[in-house]
Chain A
Amino acid sequence: MPGEPDSCAAGGGVPAGAALPGEAGAGSRPRLAEPLVEGTVDGVRVAVPRGATILEAARLCAIEIPTLCHHEGLPPEGSCRLCLSETRGSLAVSCMYPLRESGFAALTRSPAVLEARRYVLSLLVCRAPRAPRIRKLADEYGVSPDPRFMRDPDGCIRCGRCVRACRASGPEAIALCGRGFARLVTGPFGRPPEACVGCLACALACPTGKIAFSERDGVRRIWEREFELAPCPECGKRAFTREQLAFLGGGASALCHSCRRRLMARELGKAAALEAPGGPALLRAL
């Protein structure tokens, strides 16, 4: 069947940060232009732009809802089920449930919510019993791993944040493959991902620290691959891999973060000075 012209995010092999079709919609960022809707979270009154999520409303109230698969910069997925809260008498995924009308009342600490979270944590802790974040949450909720169900404690909770990060800012080199309990993050054919550019987006997005990487002698190792780091033209510090720079294209520079900030500040300062009264003269005098 012929394609949908407006449907494919992927063009030319690199989906440039765009959400896949179907991943936008509910749970996408609220637009500030939306009218406000009012309601309560745990009894605290709050107003949010229509379409904001329970999670966002709760954060405005300084109410903490634990999350794992959620990441501010990535399309939401609602798959870890940890952020469940209660609304209209049933459980809802806080990171995606859109508040569309005034009068909402979300509960984030009701008995049903706490029981559900304990259940989810009891499952996840069997997968990643040593991950600090999971252990902390498990302790907080009084959950410990049941040895009867420790079948494959590989440290990964299959939240897919690494895959979404790679899709959003990298070449989509890794994917969640297979299905069911055996689902696994891997490169194609179960081998080190060929398309990987060593940008670390996956490792930095991982909530359990499962994706290991190291840097030594100007070489970065991740996903069983080695990447040479290009030196910063200002200070010589090595921050980006050559593959990453090539992937970004358009003469992306190897400036390290601090030099980039410093240079940017200098330029901004120049521009500000030029606009200030007496500025140009001051600059000349300097």
Chain B
Amino acid sequence: MAGPDLSALPEILESRPADPSELLPLLTMIQGRWRHLPQEALRAVAARLSLPLARVFAVASFYRSLSFQPKGERLVQVCCGTACHLKGARAVAASLEKSLAVRMGATREDGRVTLESVNCVGACALAPVVMLDGTVHGKVSGPGAAGLRL
């Protein structure tokens, strides 16, 4: 499999000062652009910030918002905050797994959709909540979630 097209990478790298404190912002931008962190991009970040690759990798592996595997084109996140847990997030997750044909925490083989859990998105009053591509949908019911097809 050919790697992703990284021609936009230099521009991203140069948009921030070459300082170690820019590591997380840069990784976040790369994640946003390619929906994951390509290995070559991590090497370029390490070189740009004069950091050992191991340290860049450690930081990249620490934060939940960053991933090494490409995320799907559509991102479905089930909130697992306390209020959502109390109001049946587990049932919502189960019905989404069924209707989207993908396991929790995985990306469907066709690369179209990723289903994952997320820690509280701060819309607790409307629990249970599902986030679709960053937009929050409140008061989702298990059977209602089953209607979602992507």
Q: Check whether chain A touches chain B (CB < 8 angstroms).
A: yes
Residue pair B19, A173 in contact (C-beta under 8 Å): no
Taken together as a complex, chains A and B put the C-alpha atoms of A175 and B59 apart, in Å, by: 10
Given contacts A11-B50, A176-B58, 19 further A-B contacts (CB under 8 A): A2-B17, A3-B18, A3-B21, A10-B50, A10-B51, A13-B50, A171-B52, A172-B54, A172-B55, A175-B58, A177-B58, A177-B61, A177-B62, A178-B62, A179-B61, A187-B54, A189-B68, A194-B53, A195-B54
Quick check: B61 and A4 within 8 Å, CB to CB? no
- Bound complex: CA A15 to CA B54 (Å): 13
Is A12 close to B, CB under 8 A? yes
Given A177-B61, A178-B62, A179-B62, answer yes or no on A188-B53 (Cβ-Cβ < 8 Å): yes
Interface residues of A (CB under 8 A from B): 1-4, 7-8, 10-15, 167, 171-179, 187-189, 193-195
Most buried by A among B18, B42, B57, B62: B57
In whole angstroms, how far apart are the Cα atoms of A4 and B19 in the complex? 8
Residues of B within 8 A of A176 (CB): 58
Number of A-B contacts (CB under 8 A): 66
Min Cβ gap A127→B in Å is: 19
Contacts of B39 in A (CB 8 A): 189
Closest-CB distance, A158 to chain B (whole angstroms): 13
Residues of the B chain whose Cβ atoms lie less than 8 Å from the Cβ of A193:
54
Separation of A237 and B57 alpha carbons in the complex (Å): 37
Partner of A178, one of B18, B21, B51, B61: B61
Given A2-B17, A3-B20, A189-B39, are A175 and B50 also a contact pair (CB < 8 Å)?
Answer: no
Interface residue ranges, B against A (CB under 8 Å): 17-22, 39, 42, 50-58, 61-62, 68
Does B21 lie within 8 Å of A4, measured CB to CB?
A: yes
Nearest A residue to B60 via CB reads A177
Which 8 A-B pairs have CB atoms at the shortest separation, nearest pair first? A3-B19, A175-B58, A172-B52, A188-B57, A175-B54, A177-B61, A188-B53, A177-B58
